[in-house]
């Protein structure tokens, strides 16, 4: 018995030390939020840009020219996105009081139906406990946060430039710096390939989701259809709950603008697109190994959302997925990756 005590104490001490280190790291990330979030976004964009960069360099395009072409495309896309989102958010914010008032009027129309069901509710009680106008206000605040995040796009693009430049030299540096560079490069290459596969497929599916939602809302005549498509594309990075969050403001707006019948069509379109993308196309190309359990999705939303705010919720699943892929690379931590999976 006496020989087992030091072993158990040592194991417990290691776990306690690891937990304390994790708390310190999370606290440091929380403090450095303003710097960490643009850096993480830049890393994700650089990983997504890696395949076209590799394709161009393999076709004898000089690395500096390939990077300049990618950066030119990124800057044009960023400029168009900032102008479009900024204009749409300003217009939506101006119309928000009108939308809120109309939603309250629509909610009051439910009172006679509630009385028939034996639920006598006053107008004040209904608006205090169920006020859809507050949901529209939350949507407006979220869009404002999105606009604030897009103002960092120029900084993010510059970081992407230096990351891509560094990526072209990383192999040579590792060969000179490490004694067993080939093994390290193989491990790093496997990790980067899996992360790249996840991010590229997820980004492609999200863009397709946004385009389909935009097209459907435009056909129905819903205001700000491209903006809701962009929101749907971003929220598609959050499994299970992201599509619901993206659909709520568009459905409420369609109730105000078009009526309940067309709002039902808007909801049906969201359901159809997300079933097609999330349950048919994405699993087919992603594979069974790149998934997270619903509990892990929910907890990662809480943790990363607390750390980095709305941007953290958007980054939560990619960050957790990258952590899972990293844990799979080491046999001693593979069990943790299995517990995180679906």
| Residues 58-80, mean pLDDT to the nearest whole number | 82
Token pair listed for 40: 């993480």
Q: Is 296 in contact with 132 (CB distance < 8 Å)?
A: no
CA 295 to chain centre: 17
Cβ-based neighbours of 332, under 8 Å, separated by 6 or more: none
Selection from 101-115, 158-172, 217-231 with the highest mean pLDDT? 217-231
pLDDT band at 27 (very low <50, low <70, confident <90, very high): confident
The more confidently predicted of residues 55 and 218 is: 218
The pLDDT value given to residue 212: 93
Token pair listed for 315: 């980054």
| Position 2 pLDDT exceeds 60 | no
User: Distance between CA 321 and CA 176 in Å, rounded?
Assistant: 31
Cβ-based neighbours of 269, under 8 Å, separated by 6 or more: 213, 216, 217, 220
User: In this predicted model, what pLDDT tens digit does every residue of 162-180 receive, in sequence order?
Assistant: 887 777 666 666 666 666 6
Q: Is 104 in contact with 129 (CB distance < 8 Å)?
A: no
The pLDDT value given to residue 217: 92
Lowest mean pLDDT among 78-87, 98-107, 268-277: 98-107
The pLDDT value given to residue 1: 47
The pLDDT value given to residue 67: 83
The pLDDT value given to residue 108: 67
| Position 148 pLDDT exceeds 90 | no
pLDDT band at 7 (very low <50, low <70, confident <90, very high): very low
| Position 320 pLDDT exceeds 50 | yes
| Residues 36-62, mean pLDDT to the nearest whole number | 82
| Residues 65-94, mean pLDDT to the nearest whole number | 80
| Position 235 pLDDT exceeds 70 | yes
Select from 94, 93, 128 the least CA-distant residue to 108. Answer: 128
The pLDDT value given to residue 110: 65
Selection from 88-102, 256-270, 314-328 with the highest mean pLDDT? 256-270
Torsion of CA 277, 139, 292, 28, to 10 degrees: 140
User: Distance between CA 73 and CA 112 in Å, rounded?
Assistant: 56
Q: Is 332 in contact with 339 (CB distance < 8 Å)?
A: no
The pLDDT value given to residue 118: 63
Lowest mean pLDDT among 8-22, 53-67, 124-138, 181-195: 124-138
Q: Is 218 in contact with 246 (CB distance < 8 Å)?
A: no
Lowest mean pLDDT among 22-31, 195-204, 227-236, 287-296: 287-296
| Position 187 pLDDT exceeds 70 | no
Q: What is the mean pLDDT of the chain?
A: 76
The pLDDT value given to residue 36: 83
| Residues 8-31, mean pLDDT to the nearest whole number | 77
Cβ-based neighbours of 130, under 8 Å, separated by 6 or more: 107
User: Distance between CA 219 and CA 264 in Å, rounded?
Assistant: 14
User: In this predicted model, what pLDDT tens digit does every residue of 193-224 receive, in sequence order?
Assistant: 777 778 888 888 889 999 999 999 999 988 88
User: In this predicted model, what pLDDT tens digit does every residue of 283-294 receive, in sequence order?
Assistant: 777 655 556 777
- DSSP per residue, 75-106: HHHHHHHHHHHHHHHHHHHHHHHHHHHHHHHH
The pLDDT value given to residue 314: 76
| Position 239 pLDDT exceeds 90 | no
Selection from 5-19, 135-149, 265-279 with the highest mean pLDDT? 265-279
């Amino acid at each position: 018995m006496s020989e087992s005590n030091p072993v158990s104490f040592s194991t417990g001490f290691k776990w306690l030390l690891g937990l304390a280190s994790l708390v310190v790291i999370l606290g440091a990330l929380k403090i450095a939020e303003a710097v960490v979030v643009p850096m993480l976004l830049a890393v994700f964009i650089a990983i997504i840009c890696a395949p076209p960069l590799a394709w161009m360099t393999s076709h004898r395009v000089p690395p500096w020219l390939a990077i300049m072409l990618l950066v030119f495309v990124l800057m044009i896309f960023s400029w168009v996105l900032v102008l479009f989102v900024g204009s749409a958010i300003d217009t939506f914010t101006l119309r928000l009081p009108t939308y809120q008032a109309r939603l309250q009027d629509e909610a009051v129309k439910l009172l006679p139906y509630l009385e028939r069901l034996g639920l006598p509710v006053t107008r004040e009680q209904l608006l205090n406990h169920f006020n859809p106008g507050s949901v529209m206000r939350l949507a407006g605040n979220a869009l404002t946060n999105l606009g604030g995040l897009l103002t960092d796009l120029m900084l993010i693009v510059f970081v992407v430039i230096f990351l891509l430049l560094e990526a072209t030299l990383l192999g040579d540096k590792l060969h000179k710096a490490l004694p067993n560079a080939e093994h390290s490069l193989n491990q790093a290459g496997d990790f980067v390939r899996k992360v790249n596969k996840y991010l590229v497929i997820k980004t492609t599916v999200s863009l397709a989701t946004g385009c389909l939602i935009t097209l459907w809302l435009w056909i129905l005549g819903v205001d700000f259809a491209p903006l809701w498509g962009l929101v749907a594309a971003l929220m598609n990075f959050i499994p299970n709950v992201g599509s619901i969050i993206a659909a709520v403001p568009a459905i409420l707006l369609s109730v105000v603008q078009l009526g309940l019948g067309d709002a039902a069509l808007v909801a049906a379109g969201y359901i159809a697109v997300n079933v097609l993308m999330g349950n048919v196309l994405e699993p087919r190309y992603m594979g069974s190994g790149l998934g997270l359990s619903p509990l892990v999705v929910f907890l990662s939303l809480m943790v990363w959302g607390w750390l980095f705010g709305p941007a953290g919720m958007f980054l939560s699943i990619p960050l957790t997925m990258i952590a899972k892929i990293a844990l799979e690379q080491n046999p001693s931590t593979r069990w943790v990756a299995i517990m995180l999976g679906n």
